[in-house]
Structure 1
Amino acid sequence: MTSTDQQAFLSVRDLKVHFSTEDGIVKAVDGLTFDLEKGKTLGIVGESGSGKSVTNLTILGLHDRHRTAIDGEILLDGKELITARESELEKLRGNKMAMIFQDALASLSPYHTIGKQIGETYRKHTGASKQEARARAIEMLKRVGIPQPDMRVDDYPHQFSGGMRQRAMIAMALVCDPELLIADEPTTALDVTVQAQIMDLLKDLQQEFGTAIVFITHDLGVIADIADDVLVMYGGRCVERGTKQEVLRTPRHPYTLGLMNSMPTLDGPVDVPLSPIPGSPPSLLNPPSGCRFHPRCSFAEKVAGGLCSTEQPALEVVGGRGSACHLTPEQRQEFFADFAVSRHN
């Protein structure tokens, strides 16, 4: 995770996304900062409602401007996106940046063939003819591993399996060779075999095109497979970030630790029970005071002065490694020791 704007292809600075509702203001994203370089994958992980998808829909400009208050800065290859006109964003979407959605069946039109839907994006951004767009659609279906692409190009979404529909969505997202690809839990509804195939496909395509990828998931196992850097979100805020190795091997935030303790491992002791995080994610309409994780944190009472419930911890970043927690390094080393022992012995 780069620390300099000059190197960052995608740069997000102090992003706030608040929605106006009948019940009040929902602080879906509340001060998020990160960078992403070309050819790298940033994994954003967190429970449902943590702000992952909202962040990436905001990058694409897919929000109701009349009901959404957005503050901060989003730079894509030096171009500011928050203040960009809709016409400018339309030129970028599908062309310079694209998104793979979680539910391919819901995202694809049941009334049009797969080839037409892939080709439509290509024609819009390149001015290609129908014949050229069809040829490009066949080429992309072949590239993502669809058998007999010259025949399947005329099939409808319901004629594809779940894994093939997801491959078709990837083909559609990549048809214009975007430089930024946002994948919103694209493997959640797939079985593990197909999931592994999709992950390998994304890595191969990234190597071929040098694409920057933002990969959204709640699954740390997926993060371990595909990400270079990891950003952990909770309650609309970043609570920890760093390289994959740093975050997964030596977590610094109790929430990250909780996520990892909830995940089974293949190489650890078989008699170590899983420890789910107690309670539920916070309301973004009325978030808790202080650290938003403190009502669920087993270490909050160990911090002197009750800081966890009264003062929001800042995200302290050194060399790209950061965490937002009131625990001292000494306390963290002591309290997290059992995790290291159970996971790596």
Structure 2
Amino acid sequence: MTTLTKPDDGATPPPAPGDGAFLSVRDLYVRFSTEDGIVKAVDGLSFDLERGRTLGIVGESGSGKSVTNLTVLGLHDPRTTTVSGEILLDGQELTGAPERTLERLRGNTMAMIFQDPLTALSPYYTVGRQIAEPYRKHTGASKSEARSRAIEMLQKVGIPNPRLRVDDYPHQFSGGMRQRAMIAMSLVCDPDLLIADEPTTALDVTVQAQILDLLKDLQQEFGSAIILITHDLGVVANTADDLLVMYAGRAVERGTVREVLRAPQHPYTWGLLGSMPRLTSAVDEPLSPIPGSPPSLLSPPPGCPFHPRCRYTDQVAGDRCATERPSLPDGRGAACHLSAERKQTLFTEQIKPRLG
């Protein structure tokens, strides 16, 4: 990936890498060159992830969640992508690392469950071969050993008759089965870092629970670090330890799952929680969507990127929301110009009653 000089936008300098962090991302910028201009896909993102913990990343489509994690794996086209910042995996710098180094790490030390298994699986090879290939490459196993491992993984993710289905092609699997096969391929080498991009989207609730339990078992057995990208806040609440809320390529709020879901501090997080259906709501009660649309990353708005959609800009003195980029404090916090006291009042009086 091509390196990029850090933009001078007056943003707060990133915090130093956390002690004991297995994955440390610092001041990450990702830019895509297109015919229409430069897409600012990730804009100064920093976070840490320790072994044995799960980080949930949430946000609307286009907020930079998947781009961030594809960058960690080094999967962007270097001809059209420029990257700057620091990505440390167990102390090893990945930004600008040779492709040979990334190939050695991908599928072994770090792996990703891709969002769309239909395009992630090759139609030319059997499912079993695609699961067995990374296992043979990284462990030196024989063909028979790799085939046995593939059958074992298909069984773990709930594929019926795995000894027969191991020789099927992706088009012979249903959408949910392809998703499970993709998960099996990602887990086959017991990676230290697993990035799960909407891993349960195409699955029914029973299989979804099985897959989430499988990820927990992997984490408990090997101490793996997991990044869970999802739109389902219910999955995050029951699976993740920490939560990062992204908007327009930036982190706008972070903290433990308990802290963020029980006492969110950013108006965007309030909007995400408020747009969820609740069991206690009346059947005909309308949802409360966030007004407007996410900004174009070709020309994101100045200041706080959420301010064109925010209901509370009139409660900040002057035009700070439109002109000054708010900083995200270390640890628990939100990138918002509202004072801590005002956030607390708004949440208690207006937001919390709506959330139930």
**Where on the TM-score scale, by shorter chain, does this alignment land: which range?**
over 0.9
> Which amino acid in 2 is paired with 1:324?
A
Aligned length: 341
**Paired residue for 1:280?**
293
Change (3 A) 1:181 1:187: same
Is contact 1:241–1:323 with CA below 8 Å preserved after alignment? yes
The within-5 A match list for 1:82-121 is: 82-121=95-134
Paired AA for residue 338 in structure 2 = L
Counterpart code for 2:55: L
TM-score by length of 1: 0.94
Amino acid at match of 2:235: V
Instruction: Give the drift of 1:268.
Output: 6.3
Tell me if 1:163 matches 2:180.
no
1:154 alignment counterpart: 167
The answer for unaligned runs of 5 or more in structure 1 is none
Match of 1:314 among 304, 314, 327: 327
SS of match in other structure, 1:304 = coil
Greater alpha carbon shift after TM alignment, 72-81 vs 190-199: 190-199
Per-residue CA distance 1:150-200 (angstroms, 9 max, x = gap): 222112222223332222111111111110000111222333343333223
Partner of 1:179: 192
In structure 2, distance between residues paired with 1:271 and 1:163: 31
Q: Secondary structure at the match of 1:142?
A: helix
Alpha-carbon contact 2:157-2:210 (below 8 Å) kept: no
Q: CA RMSD in A?
A: 1.8
Deviation at 1:26, TM superposition (A): 1.0
Query: Which one-letter code corresponds to 2:288 in the other structure?
Result: S
Q: Give the aligned residue type for 2:332.
A: R
- Give the whole-Å Cα distance in 2 for the aligned partners of 1:146 and 1:189: 14
Q: Deviations over 1:32-68 (max 9, x none)?
A: 0101111111010000110000000000000111221
Match of 1:36, SS state, is strand
1:1-345 pair list within 5 angstroms: 5-267=18-280, 273-317=286-330, 320-337=331-348, 338-344=350-356
Q: Which amino acid aligns with 2:306?
A: F
TM-score, normalised by the number of residues in structure 2: 0.91
**C-alpha displacement at 1:21, in angstroms?**
1.8
* Separation in 2, partners of 1:100, 1:223: 16
Distance 1:138 1:191, change over 3 A: closer
Distance in 2, matches of 1:115 and 1:237, equals 39
Q: Is the 8 A contact 2:132 2:147 kept in 1?
A: yes
Mapped to 1, the partners of 2:20 and 2:94 lie a distance apart of 18
**C-alpha separation between the residues in 2 aligned to 1:199 and 1:211?**
14
Residue deviations 1:66-103, cap 9 Å, x none?
22111110000110000210000000000100000112
Identity of aligned residues (%): 72
